[in-house]
Amino acid sequence: MSGNSTEPLNLFDYETLAQTRLSRRAWNYISDGAADEITLRANRQAFDALRLRPHMLRDVSVIDTTTSFLGASLAQPVMVAPMAYQRLACEEGEVAVAVAAAATQTALCLSTLSTREIGEVAAPHGSLPRFFQLYMLKDRGITRELVSRACASGFGAIVLTVDAPYPGRRERGSADRMVLPSGLHLANLDGLGGRESWSIANFASELDASLSWRDLDWLSSLSPLPVIVKGILRADDASMAIDHGAGAICVSNHGGRQLDTAIASITALPEIVQAVHSRCDVILDGGIRRGTDVLKALALGARAVLVGRPVIWGLAHSGAAGAQRVLELLRDEFRLAMALAGCARISDIDQSLVV
């Protein structure tokens, strides 16, 4: 814990407390990275290596953190990343995270591998901006059904994860082979593809390693929803994604959980923003822990950022209230960082702030 307060002061405090509340198996699943976890660490180290050059004598008496993404109004440029198996952290799982996102007026990305069903998460929060994260499986009928459900439940975009043709090699928790505890299940998949219920092993075996750009064309044809392509780390891939109908790009290395020694997301961001040339919005995930991280990402061209593990830490600490507090801490830190950098509005943030 930081200081003498009994309440967490920052996201790192929530991380420390979450480890004491989660089972060893759940903690290892949530926190580990691929292989030697070099990329996992690099996501943080790259943010820490960036320095800020603040403006002075700017009127920052009123700070406006509002923005928008794909037509959704956001109170801050911080959205909830898609994360699997959230009921590992608390019974309400994804429903509690939806409550937290709605309370802080930001957007939620729901994972294909959620432990609450699409409609159950969406139903109580009709105005909550929400996007559905999708893994492309070998059975394209499953993809059609999931996209159809997302449309029917008021989701505003499909987030196609493209960096996981196979599961990454995650060794830290290898002695505790990840299986869902009794009572938890893959709520969005059960009953699809001829399976009454799905296991984690079933899912991994159905990932489609043949996924290619033509499949992005096909996915875009299934619904009017824009497709956010998540997992891009190269400028040429970003350009290809736009050519094949992407509505937005998410710069991501899967939280350091797929290809170890891959470039940090924030390091990849500038060249991708340059390649996109304002043809679509670019967002980023991986390593966001402070409001200054959000400021740096926006200065380098991101429209918004996604935050994953810290939301789960908050959920493990105190359910929806904990997840909400994590998002509030980031909002408050970001507002202060804007003020101290001489930026009263999001539009004041530009690349000159970052060394």
Tokens of 227: 């497709």
> Is 244 tagged catalytic?
no
Query: Helix axis angle, 235-243 relative to 213-221, nearest 10°?
Result: 40
Could you give the CA distance from residue 330 to residue 77 in angstroms, rounded to a whole number? 10
Question: Is the CB of residue 258 less than 8 Å from the CB of residue 233?
Answer: no
Out of 55, 125, 254, 317, the active site residue is 254
Catalytic residues: 254
